[in-house]
Amino acid sequence: MNGAESLVRSLVAAGVDRVFTNPGSTEMEIIKEFDAVPELRPVLGLFEGVCTGAADGYARMTGRPAATLLHVGPGLANGLANLHNAKRAYSPVVNIAGDYPSYHSPHDPLLSADLEGLASAMSGWVRRARSPATLGQDGADAVAAAREGQVATLIVPQDATWGDDATPALPPPEVSRGRAADSEVERIAASIAGDKTAILLVNGSGLSERGLAAANRVVAKTGCRLMVEVFAARMARGAGRGAFGPLPGDQTVALETLGSARSVVLAGTKPPVAYLAYEGLPSLLIPEGVATHHLAGPADDAEGALEALALALDATTPGAAYDNVVPERPTGPVNPKTVGAAIGSLMPDNAIVAAETTTSGGPIFGYTRGAAPHDWLGLTGGSIGMAIPLAVGAAVACPDRKVLCIQSDGGGMYTNQALWTLARESLNVVTVILSNRRYKILEHEYFKTGANTLGAKADRLFDIGNPDIDWAHLGQGMGMEGHRCTEAEDFTAKLEAALATDGPQLIDAVYSG
C-alpha cells in the first residue's frame, strides 16, 4: 500500500468522510485513491476559500472534522481567510496541503512557499509528513488534533504519498471536551446565587438547544442576565427555544453593560475583546473590579457545563423561551426590515441559516427570533466571503434540511465561485444576496473617525454599485435559477417559491428604500 492510500484510509477510519478540494499536480496520488476508497466523498470547489469555508460549515453542523485538500503554498494561501473564520469558530477542520517532493523543494521550484509559516497563522496544529510509512499515522494525528476544536494542517510532500510499505493507522480515541471541575461549578453557583447583577455570557456549544435551556433555568433561578457573544459559530434559535440577548456590539455600551455586573460567568467563551480599537477606550470589555468566572472555554463542553451549573443551583424551573411570532408579509421597498420580515414569516422548520449580514443583521435577526426553530451559523472571524461556502458545507452535512444562505453583496463577491458548487452538487440551498451596493460597514467606521462628510475619494472606495453587479444573471451563469427583486411583495413571493423547490436558488434582494 502506498502512502496516499494509507492516508485516505486513515482519515476514513477516524471518521472523516468528506473532503472539500481544489487539487493540483502534487496531490494526484491522493486523488487516485478517492476512487479506491468509496467511503470518502470529494466535493470540488473552484476557489480554495470555498473549500475551507465549506469544511467549516460541515464541521459546525456535524461536530466532526471535514477535510480540505489544497495545492502547495498559493492554494493554501487562497484558503486562509475562511480558515481564519474556522479558527475563530473553533471548528474541527483537517487541512491537507500538498507540496513538492522533499528532494525537489530545496531547489526553489516555481510554486515553492513557506507552507509551515502560512499554515501556522490559522492552524493550532501543523505537521509535515516525512515518509509513506508514517503518513497514515500523521493523518490520524491530524484528526485527533482537529477534534480539540481547531484547524489542523498536515503538509504532505508528494514523495510521502508514494512507496509500498505504508499501513493505515488505527482511529484515534475519542476525547471528551473539558469544563470547570465540579468544585469550581459549585463555587460559581454560590457566587451568583443571590446576585441579580451577574451576567452569564455564553458561546460555543452553550448555544445549543440544551445549553440555552440550561442557561435559562439558571436565569429563572438566580435572576442573572443571559447574553451571547456577537460572533457565534452556531446557535439554536426560534420558537420554543431559549431566549437571550446579545452582548452589545457598540464598545461603549458593552463596557457599561459588563461594568454594571458584580460578576461575569464565561461559558463557551473567553473574556470578550472589542472588535475594533478606538482612541481612549480599553481593549478588554470586562472592566477591572468585575469578578470573572470561567465555566467553560471556547472549545470546551459549554453545554454540559451549563447543565452542571443548573444542577448545582437546583435550577429546575423552565426558563424563558421565544414565543411563536410570525411577522406579517411585508410590503413596500426591499430593505433590511422587509427582508427580515419575509424571512421570519417563511422560515422552514428545522432550517439552517448561514448568515453574513454585516449592517443588515439587526432587523433580520430580530424578525426571526420567534420563527420556526432553526440553527443560525454566523460570521465568527470577521473575514467576509463566508456565508455561501458555509452553506455548501452545511448542505453537504445535512442534505435533509433546507439551508437559507443570507449573504451581503460585498462579501459575496469574495467567494461567488461557491454558487457553482451549489449547482454542481444540487444542494438544497436558497441564497439571498443583500444588495445595498456599498461597503456600508466601512462607511459607518469612516464617520466614527469624526468626519462630518464623506469625501469623494472615500465614497468611491465604499461604492460597489458602479457598475451594478447582476447577481441574478451571475447565479444563472453558475447553473441555478436567479431572480432580482426590488419590492417586498415580489421578494416574499420569490422566497416562498424558492423554499418550496429542491436544489439551489438565488434571489438578489436589491435595496430600494
pLDDT on residue 276: 84
The region of weakest confidence among 64-68, 235-239, 359-363, 426-430 is 359-363
pLDDT per residue as tens digits for the range 97-118 = 999 999 999 999 999 999 999 9
Annotated domain spans of the chain: 3-161, 182-312, 336-510
**Residue 126 neighbours by CB distance under 10 Å:** 22
- The answer, yes or no, to whether residue 346 has pLDDT greater than 80, is yes
Q: What is the pTM of this model?
A: 0.96
Residue 186 has a CB neighbour count (10 Å cut-off) of: 16
Q: What angle do CA 421, 61, 40 make, to 5 degrees?
A: 60
pLDDT of 293 reads 97
Q: pLDDT confidence of 35, banded at 50, 70, 90?
A: very high
Give the pLDDT confidence of 367-413 residue by residue, as tens digits. Answer: 999 999 999 999 999 999 999 999 999 999 999 999 999 999 999 99
Q: pLDDT of 420-474, one tens digit each?
A: 999 999 999 999 999 998 887 888 788 877 888 888 898 888 888 889 999 999 9
pLDDT at position 438, please? 86
182-312 sits in which CATH class?
Answer: alpha beta
| Domain pair 182-312 / 336-510, same fold | yes
Which pLDDT band holds residue 79 (cuts at 50, 70, 90)? very high
Asked whether the beta carbons of 355 and 377 are under 8 A apart, the reply is yes
Report how many helices (DSSP H) and strands (DSSP E) the chain contains, helices first.
Answer: 19, 18
Mean pLDDT calculated for residue range 328-357: 97
Superfamily of domain 3-161: Thiamin diphosphate (ThDP)-binding fold, Pyr/PP domains (3.40.50.970)
Answer yes or no: is pLDDT of 235 > 90: yes
pLDDT computed for residue 282 by the predictor = 92
Q: Answer yes or no: CATH 3.40.50.970 is held by domain 336-510.
A: yes
| Percent residues over pLDDT 70 in the chain | 100
pLDDT band at 230 (very low <50, low <70, confident <90, very high): confident
* One-character DSSP codes across 80-141: HHHHHHHHHHT--EEEEEEE--TTTGGG--TT---HHHHHHTT-SEEEE---HHHHHHHHHH
Strand runs labelled E in 180-311: 199-202, 225-228, 235-237, 245-246, 263-267, 291-296
